[in-house]
Structure 1
Amino acid sequence: MTEIIDIGLVRYPGAQVSAVLGLVDLFGIAGNVASKRPEDLPRLRITEWSCDPGLAPVTPGVGQDVLLLPPALGSPIKAEAAAPIAAGLRSAHGQGTILASVCAGAFLLAETRLLDGRRATTHWAYADELAARFPRVVLDPDQLIIDEADILTAGGLMSWTDLGLKLVDRFLGPSVMLETAQILLLDPPGREQRFYSSFAPRLNHGDAAILRVQHWMQANGGKEAALAVLAGHAGLEQRTFLRRFQKATGLTSTDYAQRLRVNRARELLQFSQQSVDAIAWEVGYRDPAAFRKVFHRVVGLTPGEFRQRFHV
C-alpha cells in the first residue's frame, strides 16, 4: 500500500494566502513527478486548516505528518490570537507531527514554547521583535532554513519555496525535488542537495514516552546520551527503555544521538569556517578522532572530504 504523507497548511489570521496557494501547487507538481517514477513513492495529501475567524472553519485532522505555518502580511500575529492555535500545534507536535514555519509564521510557532532553547530563523526584519517577545529562542536570522528534524523554520517572505522543496526532498527524495524545482524554475537550495541523506527520525510511532525523549535529545543536539538520563526522561526502566526506543525509532539510543550530532556537524562544515576539531567539540565530541570515525560511518565521507565538496 502506498504511504500517504499528510501536510496541513494553517491559514491563521493574517497568513499570506498566495503562499498557501503556491505551496499547494508546489506539492501538487512534486506529487505528479513522483507518480511517474517506477518506485513506490509516498503520496502527498495536502489540506488547508482555517484558523482565521473571517473564513469558514476547517476542523484539523488527526495524525498530520506536517503542519506548516505560512508567512504573514503585515504585523506578526499577537499573543492573544495565537494562543488557541498554539495549543493545538503543541498537542499535535506531542503526537509526532512535524511543525514548520515561514517568515513571520515563526511568531505563531514560538507561541507554542517549543522553540525555547532551540535554533530558529525568521525574516531579518522581524528578528529583533521575535527576540524581544521570545528571548529563550536561539535566533539565527542569517540562516535561510534551519532544519531540526521535528521543527523547521524558514526566513524570508518567499522562502516558502525553499521550505516546500526541503519537505519534498525529505519525503519524496532529491531527484523528485530537483525536477520539481526545474519545472517551477526555482534554484534548489544548496542544503537540499547536501542533505539528501540527512537524518529524518521517526516521530509518528505512537510511543509517547519515547517521543518525549526524542524531542529532548533534539533540543540538546544529542549531546546527552547516557542511558540512565534518557531512561529517566522516559520514566522507564533502562532495559524497557532500550527495547522501546529501538522498536519506535529503528535505532539504538546511541546511534540516534550520533546521527543528531552528525547532522549538526554537516551544517557547520558547510557554512562555517571552524576547524574540524572545533566542530567536533561543539557537537559534543571531546575526541576528534572518534568524531571523524562516526562522521565517516554515517555520511560515507570524512569531514574534510565533505567540506571540500559542499562548503559554500
Structure 2
Amino acid sequence: MKHLTILVPDAQTALSTISCIVGAYDFFTRANEFRKENGERPVFKVELAGVSGRSEFANGLVAIMPQTDISSIRKTHLIIIPSMTSEFKKAVSGNLLLINWIEEQYKNGAEVASMCSGAFMLASTGLLNGRNCSIHWDSADNLKSLFPEVNIKTEKLITDEHGLYTNGGGYSFLNLLLYLIEKYYDRQTAIYCSKIFQVEIDRVTQSDFAIFTPQKSHGDEVVKKAQSYLEDNFSEKISFEDLSQRFAVGRRNFDRRFVKATGNTPLEYLQRIKIESAKKAFETTRKTINEVMYEVGYADLKTFREVFRKITGMSPLAYRNKYNRDAV
C-alpha cells in the first residue's frame, strides 16, 4: 500500500486551508472504501501530518490535530499541500520545516500536489523553477513577483509536470482530487467519486472565471501611464508605435519594459482590457454579440471570437448563455 501525506500547516493559513485538508481526506478515504467494496485493496494509507500537535485556523475557531509528525514519516508517495493565505511573502514558523521535508521527499521519489495558493509553499522549495504552475488568478501576480522563475499558467485548471501537480483557485481543488484519484486508482473510481461528491469530472480550464486585474505595483511610471491610456481608450484604434512616441520611448524598449512590468505585451494587455469589458457587457446587458464587439473596439467578428476564446476558453455566445440568463 502506498502512503499519502496531507500536510497541516501551522501558520499562514486561511479558512480554505481547512476545506482542502478535509476535502482531500474525504475523497481519498471514500476512494479506498470503493476499492474495498469491489474486492480490491485500498491504494493509500492516508495520514494528516504536520509539525505541531494542534493547528488552529480562523483565530482559533477551528483546530485540526495532525495524526502524525512529518519527522516520523520516512517514506511517502504523494504529498498534498493545502491552500494558504494569499498574502504569502515568505515561509515562517513550522512551514519552513514542511518545505525542507517536501524537497527531501521529492528527491526520494514522492510526488507533490499543491492546491490553489499552496503553490506558494511548493514554489518555496525551488521545485517549480522553470516549470508550469496553476494558481488562483487573483494570486498570480504575487506568485510571479516572489518566484519569477515559475511559469504561471492561470488559464490551466491543473498542471502535471515531473511528478508535480498544481491547480487553480477556489474549490477547483476538488477537480485536482479527481485527477489524482484517476491517476493513482482508475477511471472507474474517479467517476464514482465524481458522482458521490457531485463534482464535474474532466474540467481542464478556469479561464472563464478569471477577472483581469491590471498589475500596477511594478514601479515603472511610463508603463503605468501607458496602461492608463489603454484602459481609457481601449475602444479606439490604437497604434503602439504612436503610444511609445507619446512617452518618448523607442518602440522596442517600450515593449520590453511593458512585458517586464505587466507580464503582457502591449497588444495582449489591450486585448485583455477589451475582453474584460465584453465579459461584463455579456453578464449584465441584453446586447447582441455584434453590439458588444463594436463597443469594445473590434470590427471583425472572426477576430473577436478568436481573441475571446483564447482568453476565456469559451465563445462569446457560450459565455453570455452561461452567465446571463436574462439574455438567453
Supply the AA of the counterpart residue of 1:168.
Answer: I
2:49 is aligned to 49
Q: Please, what TM-score do these two structures have when normalized by structure 1?
A: 0.56
Supply the AA of the counterpart residue of 1:186.
Answer: V
| Residues 42 and 54 of structure 1, relative CA distance in 2, 3 Å threshold | closer
1:137 is aligned to 150
Matched, 1:98 2:98: no
SS of the equivalent of 2:170 reads coil
Deviation at 1:54, TM superposition (A): 5.5
Deviation at 1:84, TM superposition (A): 2.6
Deviation at 1:190, TM superposition (A): 4.0
Mapping for residues 160-199 of structure 1, pairs under 5 Å: 160-190=173-203
2:124 is aligned to 111
Distance 1:66 1:149 in 2: 13
**In angstroms, what is the RMSD of aligned CA positions?**
2.4
- 8 Å CA contact 1:41–1:172 kept in 2: the answer is no
- 8 Å CA contact 1:10–1:51 kept in 2: the answer is no
2:80 is aligned to 68
Asked which structure has the greater CA Rg, the reply is 2
Deviations for 1:21-45, whole angstroms, at most 9, x for unmatched residues? Answer: 121111111112222225x454321
5+ unaligned residues in a row in structure 1: which ranges?
192-310
Deviation at 1:18, TM superposition (A): 2.3
5+ unaligned residues in a row in structure 2: which ranges?
56-64, 205-312, 315-328
Deviations for 1:51-94, whole angstroms, at most 9, x for unmatched residues? Answer: 46853673221211111101124533633344332111100100
| Residues 128 and 53 of structure 1, relative CA distance in 2, 3 Å threshold | farther
The one of 68, 89, 100 equivalent to 1:87 is: 100
SS of the equivalent of 1:72 reads coil
- 8 Å CA contact 1:115–1:137 kept in 2: the answer is yes
Same amino acid, percent of matched pairs: 24
Distance 1:159 1:172 in 2: 20
Deviations for 1:201-254, whole angstroms, at most 9, x for unmatched residues? Answer: xxxxxxxxxxxxxxxxxxxxxxxxxxxxxxxxxxxxxxxxxxxxxxxxxxxxxx
- 8 Å CA contact 2:20–2:115 kept in 1: the answer is no
1:128 is aligned to 141
Deviation at 1:128, TM superposition (A): 0.4
1:159 is aligned to 172
SS of the equivalent of 1:48 reads strand
SS of the equivalent of 1:189 reads coil
Distance 2:179 2:194 in 1: 11
Q: Give the number of equivalent residue pairs.
A: 190
- 8 Å CA contact 1:72–1:104 kept in 2: the answer is yes
Deviation at 1:186, TM superposition (A): 1.0
SS of the equivalent of 1:100 reads strand
Distance 1:148 1:10 in 2: 21
